[in-house]
Amino acid sequence: MNREAALFDQLDATTSTTAKVDALATYFREADDADKLWVIALLSGRRPKRPVTSTQLRRWAAEVSGIPDWLFEASYHVVGDFAETVTHIATLEERITKRLSEWVRYVEDLKDLPEEDKATRVKAAWAGLEGMELFVFNKIITGGFRIGVSQKVMVKGLSKATGVGDDVLAHRLMGNWSPHGSSFEELVFGANAGDDHSRPYPFYLAYGIEGPEGTAAGAGLNDLLPLGDPREWQAEHKWDGIRGQVIMRGGQRFLWSRGEELVTDKYPELAALRDALPNGTVLDGEILAWKDDAALPFAELQKRIGRKSVGKKLLADVPVIFMAYDVMEHEGEDIRQRPLSERRQRLEALVAAARHPALALSPTLPFRTWEEIVAHREHARSSSIEGLMLKRLNSTYEVGRRRGDWWKWKVDPLRIDAVLTFSMQGHGRRADLYTDHTFGLWHNGELVTFAKAYSGLTDAEMKEVDAFVKKNTLERFGPVRQVKAELVFEIAFEGISASTRHKSGVAVRFPRIARWRKDKKAEDANTLDDLKSMIR
Amino acid sequence: MLTFTPKGIYCPYADVYIDPWRGVDRAIVTHAHSDHARGGSRQYLATPVTKALMHARMGIDLNIEAVGYGEPITINGVRFSLHPAGHIPGSAQVHVEHKGEVWVATGDYKRQEDGISTPFEPVRCHTLITECTFGLPIYRWKEPREVFAELNAWWRGNAANGICSVISAYSLGKAQRVMTGVDRSIGPILVHGAVANMNTVLQECGLELPRWEHITKDTPKERFRNALVITPGSALDTTWANRMKPFSSAMASGWMQLRGWRRRANIEKGFVLSDHADWDGLLHTVRESGAERVIATHGYTDLFSQYLRSVGSDAAAETTEFVGEAGADLQEGTRSVDPPGRPATPAE
């Protein structure tokens, strides 16, 4: 695995995308096929099934290092990454040399072993590896292979090494493949690609409308004028659900979510679409919780996410529909290169012919001028709509996030001033800094927690808050510190709904720190009632 | 015999402070880093090298008495002596003896040999006051020669591509350690003014350093292409660094052990090179001292002392105003870390 360790060291040591792409390309040109497949898999979020629990790993790590459990835990909170913590604590005894694919096999083979054999083998690996190799092994066994390289960068490197276009590669790397069932040839050069009926297309993702020179958009008309002639555009609502792709091929139906997760079985009410859509159809749209001709809040849909099997009651309480807005494949043909106007016509015909209650067509909004779009946006906030989508009528269906032809224009976030109440050390580049904050609003003279937020501060502000937390700790709960109620932050969020699962009685969507209100004292922060009054 | 007061570590029998952070009558200074050697005191006691460095940094009119390693000084019946700490040139541990009872305050120290400082000398005592900047088991250093092999490879690779190698290192100690440890055949060593000042003083004290050049506005741009530039981190983000472009940035510090710190430091390469003892070095020192009681200062004091108690030592933590290992803007003031407690998170 030394080749991969060297690669990850190189990727770690640079912030330049070009340098990362070059390092990956060199690796993909030189390394062995079986190992390359695993690098592709790991960097696209595929990993071997986790054969051991995190509790077991923690116990074994404390055992090999001879330190008490609590000291391992404390160390983990300083490092902010389990795999890295073990890497620093383990001691090399006798080096074991294996290739990446062999180490993955080693991890996979643990699955059916009794616990003590698992322990022996994991400890043997810890004693046989060091540095980046050990870190990679720990990442394989703990899952979550996030090391600062996006799938997009990996695909660019692979494209550079193989000469296959990155859009084509992005498509080939989608879906259900695993290094066990595919060869590098098949995966990258597309031999036998037609065999996989379930393979989704990469989603086309929009950027937010921008203000001048890439600044955040204001609410104004001025931000739309660069788009040119309004007659060249189509407008729709931006739905607040789960982006999904419905695939009908070979008499089978598949439903993918944007996170490349096959969710067919989670939404049985969409199963009947099998009879309503013709073979060779792939639709892009949104999975929405929908009842009595209206969308339910995202918080309701959330009850369905993460549930493998859905009970009758939940099905009745939170039924879902598929709100379609594009078609990528029609009559077995990839039509992504045809203009949106044509795809839209075909989509309308498909939805009309299906006449199925679980399949809806995302309506286009009528407008002639950009002023009318501004007005639409002003009315676009509801429990299931988070703004507008603007799409150029002649746009092709692109791969990944692109500027130019598709734009999202969210409604302005809601904002409230809240008090910092608890804080915890972060992960990754925030490790060993108190950056994961909990915020409260006033209610009957007490601060009630309403949101957690991690992002939104500058590096300098982050350090300043870290210092405040360390100096103003009232009580410690393991890694969490309760702090003196003093700092006020403006918290921005996208949506709001009543919730019985939250102590505050309110759930907010995408809370983040908008700014530090150094001008406000804790007692000037908003109340829980202020927040509740924002619920419509 | 030694107590912790708002002004610093204090010996009441002798009326002497060790590394006080406020002005006092009489101060013993363990080493010349600015969090240990502070101005405002009437009279100082330090090793000859520390004396020279303090004069250079804080002015010539300081009243400093120089005492060599191992030379005893008796004040009011208390016997003091300084012993090598291996942290930076001139650094010392303070041995304090009164009526047969011995305390040692380590100051900052490391157990690795760095090629520029007199190596650490274990001193036996009843009570040991030890720093623990890196007092967690995640901090265990590699052999310096391995780190220098990485550093040379980085410099060599950059030099071959005409890219300047800029390394941020503390101007006193780390900078000279880096100069001394690298492969000088790769290219010239150029230094920032702050490093140049320290180099000059240390050379006057008899330290041998490889050839180095002070970067001035007349330094030709071509000179940077295969050079290793050594600078305090604070200069890296200023226009001063512009002339070296294109350059690759690195930092040499114990904090570079953690990916999180490395990524936050906004540098490309981190070399784990510390002038402090690592976890094993701290425990080894505690054992070697034979101390019955250990007091941990600056660093992960709570966790380190709790660990010592868990293995049967009488250990406590004390708060000081020492900073620990500097590393550009990573310097964050006294670092403290949670003791373990019941795992709980605030209510949702």
Regarding whether A285 and A244 lie in a shared domain, the answer is yes
Q: How far is B266 from chain A (nearest CA, A)?
A: 9
Three-state secondary structure of B60-81 = CCCCEEECCCCCCEEECCEEEE
For B307, the closest of A71, A77, A427 (CB atoms) is: A71
Inter-chain contacts counted by CB atoms under 8 A, chains A and B: 116
Taking an 8 Å cut-off on Cβ atoms, the answer to whether A13 and B269 are in contact is yes
Element (H, E) at A158: helix A151-162
Total count of residues recorded for chain B: 348
Regarding whether A363 and A500 lie in a shared domain, the answer is no
Task: Give yes or no for A71 touching B (CB within 8 A).
Answer: yes
**Alpha helices per DSSP H over chain B:** 48-58, 144-160, 174-181, 193-204, 259-264, 279-289, 301-310
Bigger pLDDT: B293 vs A150 = B293
Regarding whether A517 and A476 lie in a shared domain, the answer is yes
> Would you say residue A96 has pLDDT above 60?
yes
Regarding whether A425 and A313 lie in a shared domain, the answer is no
Q: Is residue A82 part of a domain?
A: yes
Regarding whether A252 and A125 lie in a shared domain, the answer is no
**In angstroms, rounded to a whole number, what is the distance separating the alpha carbons of residues A362 and B195?**
66
- Partners of B263 on chain A (C-beta within 8 Å) are 148, 428-429
Q: How far is A75 from chain B (nearest CA, A)?
A: 7
Among A71, A473, A506, most B C-beta atoms within 10 A, so best to mutate, is: A71
Other CB atoms within 10 A of residue A303 CB: 15
- Partners of B262 on chain A (C-beta within 8 Å) are 12
Instruction: Decide: A268 and A320 in contact? Cβ < 8 Å.
Output: no
What is the pLDDT at residue B340?
29
The pLDDT of A11-23, averaged and rounded, is: 88
Task: Give yes or no for B345 touching A (CB within 8 A).
Answer: yes
Give the CA radius of gyration of chain A. 25
The residues that bridge with A506 in the sheet, in sequence order, are: A498
Q: How far is B19 from chain A (nearest CA, A)?
A: 23
Taking an 8 Å cut-off on Cβ atoms, the answer to whether B264 and A480 are in contact is no
Q: Is residue A212 part of a domain?
A: no
Regarding whether A272 and A391 lie in a shared domain, the answer is yes
Q: How far is B214 from chain A (nearest CA, A)?
A: 28
DSSP state at residue A258:
T
Domain boundary among A122, A142, A162: A142
Domain boundary among A410, A440, A466: A410
Bigger pLDDT: A455 vs A436 = A436
CATH number at residue A351: 3.30.470.30
Pull the structure tokens for residue B297. 């200062």
- Return the beta strands (E) in A127-280 as ranges: 204-208, 233-239, 242-249, 252-257, 261-262
**In angstroms, rounded to a whole number, what is the distance separating the alpha carbons of residues A248 and A253?**
5
- Number of helices and strands (H, E) in chain A? 19, 21
**In angstroms, rounded to a whole number, what is the distance separating the alpha carbons of residues A134 and A132?**
5
Instruction: Decide: B175 and B210 in contact? Cβ < 8 Å.
Output: no
> Would you say residue A23 has pLDDT above 70?
yes
For A75, the closest of B136, B306, B343 (CB atoms) is: B136
Residue in chain A nearest B258 by alpha carbon: A79
Walk along chain B (348 residues) and give the pLDDT tens digit of each residue: 999 998 999 999 999 999 999 999 999 999 999 889 999 999 999 999 999 999 999 999 999 999 999 999 999 999 999 999 999 999 999 999 999 999 999 999 999 999 999 999 999 999 999 999 999 999 999 999 999 999 999 999 999 999 999 999 999 999 999 999 999 999 999 999 999 999 999 999 999 999 999 999 899 999 999 999 999 888 887 888 888 999 999 999 999 999 888 877 778 899 999 999 999 999 999 999 999 999 998 888 888 999 999 988 888 887 777 765 543 333 322 222 222 222 222 322
Task: Give yes or no for B257 touching A (CB within 8 A).
Answer: yes
Q: Which residues of B151-190 are buried (b: 16+ CB within 10 A; e: fewer)?
A: bbebbbebbeeebbbbbbbbbbbbbbbbbbbbeeebbbbb
CA-wise closest residue to A291 among A258, A314, A307:
A314
What's phi and psi for A444, nearest 5 deg?
50, 45
For B303, the closest of A71, A81, A501 (CB atoms) is: A71
Q: How far is A101 from chain B (nearest CA, A)?
A: 25
A160, with CB counted inside 10 A (0-12, 13-18, 19+), is: middle
Among A9, A22, A67, A504, most B C-beta atoms within 10 A, so best to mutate, is: A67
Regarding whether A517 and A387 lie in a shared domain, the answer is no
- Partners of A423 on chain B (C-beta within 8 Å) are none
> Would you say residue A59 has pLDDT above 80?
yes
The pLDDT of A224-241, averaged and rounded, is: 91
Please give the distance of CA B179 from its chain centroid, rounded to a whole number.
16
pLDDT tens for each residue of A109-133: 999 999 999 999 999 999 999 999 9
Pull the structure tokens for residue A336. 């992504």
What is the pLDDT at residue B346?
30
**In angstroms, rounded to a whole number, what is the distance separating the alpha carbons of residues A285 and A273?**
14
Residue in chain B nearest A483 by alpha carbon: B346
Task: Give yes or no for B259 touching A (CB within 8 A).
Answer: yes
Element (H, E) at A442: strand A434-443
A409, with CB counted inside 10 A (0-12, 13-18, 19+), is: buried
* Residue position matching structure tokens 């100096």: A471
Domain boundary among A385, A410, A435: A410
Q: How far apart are the first and last CA of chain A?
A: 56
- Following CA atoms A467, A468, A470, A471 in sequence, which dihedral angle do they give, to the nearest 10 degrees? 110
> Would you say residue A221 has pLDDT above 90?
no
Largest CA-CA distance found in chain A, in angstroms, rounded: 73
Q: Among residues 116-155 of chain A, which lie with CB inside 8 Å of chain B?
A: 148
Instruction: Decide: B30 and B69 in contact? Cβ < 8 Å.
Output: no
Task: Give yes or no for B333 touching A (CB within 8 A).
Answer: yes
Q: Is residue A171 part of a domain?
A: no
Q: Is residue A344 part of a domain?
A: yes
Q: What residue type is A291 in one-letter code?
A: K
**In angstroms, rounded to a whole number, what is the distance separating the alpha carbons of residues A25 and B43?**
64
Taking an 8 Å cut-off on Cβ atoms, the answer to whether A481 and B140 are in contact is no
**In angstroms, rounded to a whole number, what is the distance separating the alpha carbons of residues B38 and B50?**
12
Q: Is residue A207 part of a domain?
A: no
Task: Give yes or no for A463 touching B (CB within 8 A).
Answer: yes
pLDDT level of residue A216 (50, 70, 90 thresholds): low
The pLDDT of A392-406, averaged and rounded, is: 92
Regarding whether A270 and A298 lie in a shared domain, the answer is yes
3-state secondary structure of B342: coil
pLDDT tens for each residue of A26-45: 999 999 999 999 999 999 88
The pLDDT of A433-443, averaged and rounded, is: 92
CA-wise closest residue to A48 among A97, A101, A84:
A101
Taking an 8 Å cut-off on Cβ atoms, the answer to whether A467 and B332 are in contact is yes
Residue B207: C-alpha distances to residues B176, B180, B237 (Å):
10, 11, 30
**In angstroms, rounded to a whole number, what is the distance separating the alpha carbons of residues A436 and A426?**
6
Q: Is residue A173 part of a domain?
A: no
**In angstroms, rounded to a whole number, what is the distance separating the alpha carbons of residues A524 and A488?**
8
Lowest mean pLDDT among A292-296, A392-396, A435-439, B189-193: A292-296
Taking an 8 Å cut-off on Cβ atoms, the answer to whether B339 and A148 are in contact is no
Taking an 8 Å cut-off on Cβ atoms, the answer to whether B257 and A88 are in contact is yes
Q: What residue type is B340 in one-letter code?
A: P
DSSP state at residue B255:
G
Bigger pLDDT: A59 vs A503 = A59
Indicate if the alpha-carbon torsion angle A180, A184, A190, A191 is positive or negative: negative
Task: Give yes or no for B269 touching A (CB within 8 A).
Answer: yes
Q: How far is B261 from chain A (nearest CA, A)?
A: 6
Percent pLDDT > 70 in chain A is 97
Regarding whether A450 and A355 lie in a shared domain, the answer is no
- The region, left, alpha or beta by phi > 0 then psi within -120 to 50, assigned to residue B108 is beta
Taking an 8 Å cut-off on Cβ atoms, the answer to whether B332 and A12 are in contact is no
Regarding whether A107 and A9 lie in a shared domain, the answer is yes
- Return the beta strands (E) in chain B as ranges: 3-5, 8-11, 16-18, 26-28, 43-46, 64-66, 73-75, 78-84, 92-98, 101-105, 127-132, 164-168, 189-191, 213-214, 228-231, 247-252, 269-271, 293-299, 314-317
Among B151, B165, B259, B319, most A C-beta atoms within 10 A, so best to mutate, is: B259
CA-wise closest residue to B58 among B201, B224, B168:
B201
Taking an 8 Å cut-off on Cβ atoms, the answer to whether A68 and B140 are in contact is no
Q: Is residue A233 part of a domain?
A: yes
CA-wise closest residue to A509 among A410, A435, A400:
A410
**In angstroms, rounded to a whole number, what is the distance separating the alpha carbons of residues B12 and B194?**
37
What is the pLDDT at residue B344?
29
pTM: 0.79
Instruction: Decide: A245 and A199 in contact? Cβ < 8 Å.
Output: no
Instruction: Decide: A207 and A401 in contact? Cβ < 8 Å.
Output: yes
Q: How far is B60 from chain A (nearest CA, A)?
A: 36
- Return the beta strands (E) in A223-336 as ranges: 233-239, 242-249, 252-257, 261-262, 281-291, 294-295, 320-330, 333-334
Regarding whether A491 and A525 lie in a shared domain, the answer is yes
CATH number at residue A115: 1.10.3260.10
**In angstroms, rounded to a whole number, what is the distance separating the alpha carbons of residues A312 and A441?**
37
For A478, the closest of B261, B269, B341 (CB atoms) is: B341
**In angstroms, rounded to a whole number, what is the distance separating the alpha carbons of residues B274 and B132?**
13
Q: How far is B311 from chain A (nearest CA, A)?
A: 10
Taking an 8 Å cut-off on Cβ atoms, the answer to whether A480 and B344 are in contact is yes
3-state secondary structure of A471: helix
Q: Is residue A200 part of a domain?
A: no
* Residue-number span of the structural domain to which A6 is assigned: 2-142
**In angstroms, rounded to a whole number, what is the distance separating the alpha carbons of residues B140 and B281?**
8
CA-wise closest residue to A51 among A172, A163, A137, A168:
A137
For B268, the closest of A14, A424, A430 (CB atoms) is: A14
The pLDDT of A174-190, averaged and rounded, is: 85
* Residue position matching structure tokens 């096929």: A33
What domains lie within chain B, and their CATH numbers? 3-139+275-317 (3.60.15.10), 144-271 (3.40.50.10710)
Domain count, chain A: 3
**In angstroms, rounded to a whole number, what is the distance separating the alpha carbons of residues A108 and A95?**
21
Regarding whether A524 and A453 lie in a shared domain, the answer is yes
Q: How far is B177 from chain A (nearest CA, A)?
A: 23
Task: Give yes or no for A423 touching B (CB within 8 A).
Answer: no
- Return the beta strands (E) in A80-188 as ranges: none
Q: What residue type is A93 in one-letter code?
A: E
**In angstroms, rounded to a whole number, what is the distance separating the alpha carbons of residues A425 and A39?**
30
